[in-house]
Amino acid sequence: MSAGRYAPSPSGDLHVGNLRTALLAWLWARHSGRDFLIRIEDLDRVRAGAEQRQLDDLRALGLDWDGSPVRQSERLGLYEAAIARLRDEGRVYECFCTRREILDAPTAPHHPPGAYPGTCRDLTEAQRAERRAERPAALRLRSEIATFTVQDAIHGTYEGAVDDFVLRRGDGVPAYNLAVVVDDAGQGIGQVVRGDDLLASAPRQAYLATLLGATPPTYVHVPLALNGAGQRLAKRDGAVTYAELREAGVDVFALITDSLGLTGASPRELLESFDPAQLPKQPWVFEPPVSSG
């Protein structure tokens, strides 16, 4: 049986929306008889102490996991091996475009704004050598398709655009879309439960998985937690972390389970009546408690 996972980035403390998604990922995995793994996605922003606080908050919520957490920073060789494989197959090219140049460039009709228009796709070797002298190159996938279709347990059949997305950034750091695919395949992840803000990235990742000889996981993109203004919940919205809410006298577990229409005093108790089909399909609007100070 394949595993499920939760994969936070240690850029800061988890807020209640993150914890809600983590609980759902745990429930979906355990309900389907899967192991549940934790992966720390620490290739980008890392704040000192954040990883430990995140793990402590997950434990405080009553979650457990199989094995020790895996860190992406310890898996760089696997990402480079995947890039080498794709390069050997002629699926990689250097890109020298800045973010501004990409945003300002016209895109193909079937691609959303900001999709890569292929500017560097067919540069000559002389042109590439000239550009290398100006700035380091990112590496992009030479995609052979315009769209790819995935199946999602909540959203059903979803067809999304696939452009020539970045595999390795200009600073040498493996890109998220590559790392997550390599990790999911290498860890035997067969079920990905995460926020529905990442639904649009699923076709790119599933397509890349097939190129690397892996079977794409089953996707479950769950509704986000929003603030009172209808925007994605963030730490700037007030008391939103586990510690802040506990300090304000909030039972965080009960708060989350109420938002999901679930009953039980622990994650294990929730499993007894867990029915994925009955979960809310709409975002959860969360209003942080008002400080009395």
List, as residue ranges, the binding site for Zn(2+): 95, 97, 116, 120
Residues assigned a catalytic role: 235
Annotated binding site: 5-9, 41, 95, 97, 116, 120, 176, 194, 235
For the beta carbon of residue 49, count every other beta carbon within 10 angstroms: 11
Paired residues of 168 in beta bridges: 139, 174
Annotated binding site for L-glutamate: 5-9, 41, 176, 194
Structure tokens belonging to residue 137: 């190159």
Residue 180 CB contacts under 8 Å (≥ 6 apart), including other chains: 7, 41, 205
Annotated binding site for ATP: 235
